[in-house]
Amino acid sequence: MNDAVVPSAADVPKAAPRVGFVSLGCPKALTDSELILTQLSAEGYQTSKTFDGADLVIVNTCGFIDEAVKESLDTIGEALAENGRVIVTGCLGAKTAEGGSNLVKSLHPSVLAVTGPHATQEVMDAVHQNLPKPHDPFLDLVPQSFGVAGLKLTPRHYAYLKISEGCNHRCTFCIIPSMRGDLVSRPIGDVLKEAQALFEGGVRELLVISQDTSAYGVDLKYRTGFWDGKPVKTRTLELAQALGELAAPFGAWVRLHYVYPYPSVDELIPLMAQGLVLPYLDVPFQHSHPEVLRRMKRPASGERNLERLARWRELCPQLVVRSTFIAGFPGETEAEFEHLLDFMREARIDRAGCFAYSPVEAATANELPGQLPAELREERRARFMAVAEEVSAAKLLERVGATMQVLVDSAPALGRKGGVGRSYADAPEIDGVVRLLPPEKISKTLKVGEFTRARIVGTEGHDLVAMPF
Ligand code: SF4
């Protein structure tokens, strides 16, 4: 006889409320998204990346350049059309329209709520108001594998670690400080705890981000915090050292982004030479000419960057430098632009990106005299990129024949048909990749999130081609 009991309607667990989530913008916005998703999941909400079947949609927006604003506004419009119940958060949410009203609300009055960036609690309050919290003690809480680090939007084997919010600088082309406020560094103990949880959860590459990584701890006067019962200063050098030591038992990588060329960076180079953190520096130079840098009000603009780069490379010959530049900044003369091209040739920046200057609403650079026509800005960007690509291609060619350690990002069929990975010289999303050929040895397999050694056999545009062994 069958003992099965037919459940009554009251016994059938109600599906958890579903929140669709769209995350736009930079890695800093991504970490905000992760915090909100972690909280939603901890409270028993289901989350998804689509609007389909969602009871409500959250859009995390970007408001940095005009194109990003457009993308964010379009996404909000789409979410309203398809779902109708939308909460907006992120940088665009902090922007005001002419007349001082909230920009998003004035363009999309039917959104349920709007918050600025890093506002997890405000977003959760808006969710609670519009989609009550589920009460189901059997719902899964935060996945244990990442513990204090919460949910990650990146693949499991790499993660961004945000060490501070905001920025004390006032670069004339940037409105981030007005959206995110002055620098607020996270306590070093919290940062290291999160890093450890990430490594324990399977992360093999930690990408340290902020608006200005070299300024970490300035707001706290480099106060001494505690980690693992020991005192440790809230400062980039001590942080990099501690992260390197935490990563070592896992064989994991630590990569530093957004480092300004202050003299204090010299102290980080020996850590790179020792292999404690990756010999990779993401330094947003933006320009080389002192007058343009002065008009941009860039931090560390008075440093002798060519000499500094030469000294860093002397201390750590394998150092890879990534940077971004702006061509056609207001008042840029042909001679100033040529100075930038000469700098690029001499500095031999391994990975360079360049934007044609474009005015950002409410940035002070908009008031500068000598605004250049769009075609000239674009033409200079193209000329810069031609030089940058020449430098980068020559540097990639120097790697042919070398053996490199590669972190595997994709490897269908255990890599029997090859795969895609990255070396220490390639940050995810922004740099090139290493295309892995099918291994010659039949027993050799490739697995996502694991390291393999590979011999570089050629180049392909910005990428390397390698034979794993
Ligand atoms: S350093 Fe300059 S560009 Fe970077 S966030 Fe601060 S103000 Fe903006």
Please compute the mean of the pLDDT values over residues 107-116 and round it to a whole number. Answer: 91
Residue 18 has pLDDT above 60, yes or no: yes
Token pair 């670690």 in the structure block, residue: 161
Name the closest-CA residue to atom 1, ligand 1.
169
- State whether the beta carbon of 167 lies less than 6 angstroms from ligand 1: yes
- Encoded tokens for 138: 């059997």
Q: Does 174 sit in the ligand 1 pocket, CB within 6 Å?
A: yes
pLDDT at residue number 301: 66
Query: How far, in Å, from the CA of 274 to the mean position of ligand 1?
Result: 30
So what's the pLDDT on residue 151? 63
Q: Is 10's pLDDT higher than 70?
A: no
Nearest to residue 342, comparing CAs of 298, 283, 394, 383? 383
Distance CA 104, CA 92 (A): 7
Q: Are the CB atoms for 157 and 448 separated by under 8 Å?
A: yes
Ligand 1 neighbourhood includes 299 CB (under 6 angstroms)? yes
Query: Residue 134 has what DSSP assignment?
Result: P
Is the backbone of residue 390 left (phi > 0), alpha (psi -120 to 50) or beta?
A: alpha
Q: Residues 173-201: what's their mean pLDDT?
A: 91
Task: Please check the confidence at residue 233 and state whether its pLDDT lies above 70.
Answer: yes
- Tell whether ligand 1 has an atom less than 6 A from the beta carbon of residue 448: no
The pLDDT of residue 66 is 80
58 close to 111: Cβ distance less than 8 angstroms:
no
Q: Are the C-beta atoms of residues 239 and 216 closer than 8 Å to each other? A: yes
Token pair of 411, please?
Answer: 């490897």
Task: Give the confidence band of 116 by pLDDT, cuts at 50, 70, 90.
Answer: confident
Share of residues in the chain with pLDDT > 70 (%): 91
Ligand 1 site, residue 19, Cβ cutoff 6 A: no
Q: What is the DSSP letter of 253?
A: E
DSSP state of 454: E
- Check whether 379 has a pLDDT greater than 80: yes
With a threshold of 0.95, does the pTM exceed it? no
Burial class (CB in 10 A: 0-12, 13-18, 19+), 443: exposed
198 lines ligand 1 (CB under 6 A): no
Return mean pLDDT, the chain.
88
User: Is the CB of residue 211 below 6 angstroms from any atom belonging to ligand 1?
Assistant: yes
By the 8 A CB rule, do 158 and 428 touch? yes
**Burial of 177 (C-beta count, 10 Å sphere; 0-12/13-18/19+):** middle
Determine the distance separating the centroid of ligand 1 and the alpha carbon of 244, expressed in angstroms. 26
Rounded-to-integer distance, Cα 381 and Cα 297, Å: 21
Question: 3-state secondary structure string, 325-364?
Answer: EEECCCCCCHHHHHHHHHHHHHHCCCEEEEEECCCCCCCH
pLDDT tier for residue 302 given thresholds of 50, 70 and 90: low
Q: Which residue among 167, 283, 297 is best mutated to probe the pocket of ligand 1, counting the most ligand atoms within 8 A of its Cβ?
A: 167
171 lines ligand 1 (CB under 6 A): yes
Segment among 48-57, 246-255, 350-359, 379-388 with least mean pLDDT? 48-57
pLDDT in tens, 317-356: 999 999 999 999 999 999 999 999 999 999 999 999 999 9
- pLDDT level of residue 448 (50, 70, 90 thresholds): very high
Q: What is the DSSP letter of 259?
A: -
Does 443 score more than 80 pLDDT? yes
Predicted pLDDT of residue 51: 80
| Length of the chain in terms of residues written | 469
Question: What spacing in Å lies between the alpha carbon of 176 and ligand 1's midpoint?
Answer: 6
d(CA 370, CA 362): 17
Question: Based on the number of CB atoms within 10 Å of its own CB, is 92 exposed (0-12), middle (13-18) or buried (19 or more)?
Answer: buried
Ligand 1: centre distance to CA 297 (Å): 9
- What pLDDT does 13 receive? 40
Is the dihedral angle over the CA atoms 378, 383, 388, 389 positive or is it negative? positive
| Whether pLDDT at 446 is above 60 | yes
The ligand 1 atom nearest the CA atom of 180: 5
- pLDDT on residue 63: 84
Cβ of residue 91 lying under 6 Å from some atom of ligand 1: no
Which ligand 1 atom sits nearest the alpha carbon of residue 173? 3
The model's confidence at residue 147, banded by pLDDT at 50, 70 and 90, is: low
Of 20-24, 34-38, 309-313, give the lowest mean pLDDT range: 34-38
165 C-alpha to ligand 1 centroid (Å): 11
Provide the residue type at 169 as one letter: H
Higher pLDDT, residue 320 or 65:
320
Of the pLDDT bands very low, low, confident and very high (cuts 50, 70, 90), residue 49 is confident
Atom 2, ligand 1: residue with shortest CA distance = 171
One-letter amino acid for residue 413 of the chain: A
Tokens read off for 126: 């808006």
- Taking CA atoms, 215 is separated from 9, 183, 283, in Å, by 58, 8, 13
Which residue has the least CA distance to atom 8 on ligand 1?
174
Flag whether pLDDT at 412 surpasses 80.
yes
